[in-house]
Amino acid sequence: MRPAGATRRPDRRAPVLAHRHAVAAGLLLLLVLLLLVLLVVRATLVVPVRVSSASMMPTFEAGDVILVSRLAPDVEDLARGDLVVFRDPAGGRTLKRVVGLPGERVAILDGVLHVDGEPQEEVWVTDPLDGYYTRVWTAGEGEVVVLGDNRGNSIDSRDYGPVTEEDLVGRVLVRLWPPGSGTGS
């Protein structure tokens, strides 16, 4: 019991508790805002995609996770060697490398890629084809020719011809998993 006339000591814990609650509320608000920003970015700008086949080995293996821009690239903005995701004739989404641009004549002659008659050095292809695939394509206006890096295990422009600009979904930005490997461009 307190003696008469004694004043009550202020509770020193009250300001500390109020500060902790304010910090927790601020962190929660920051987390919610970050989540909203991530949802907007994912819905409009980029999307993670899991590589589903071995057609892009050794650049990407099945199970790798890549970040793809949702902004469909203009064919004029693409360069030979770019990695793109597009709608294939079966309606699926497919990842391949651009090897031919609009107006270019692309051929595989004795297993070597040629563009407009010039052989191309492809550092990303480790197992070149034998002479079985001897074929020629010409990419029309608004079209690109795409091939998988694993030429012996890829369904690509050799099977369904050039890809139209309307079918382009996005460009590969970076590999997310496993980390530290870049895009192979």
DSSP label at 71?
S
Question: How big is the chain, counted in residues?
Answer: 185
Which of 88, 178, 103, 179 minimizes the C-alpha distance to 138?
103
- Residues serving a catalytic function are 55, 96
Is there a cis peptide before residue 89, judged by omega within 30 degrees of 0?
no
Could you please report the per-residue DSSP string of 129-185?
--TT--EEEE--TTEEEEE-SSGGG--SHHHH-PEEGGGEEEEEEEEEESTT-----
For 41, other C-beta atoms within 10 Å of its C-beta total 12
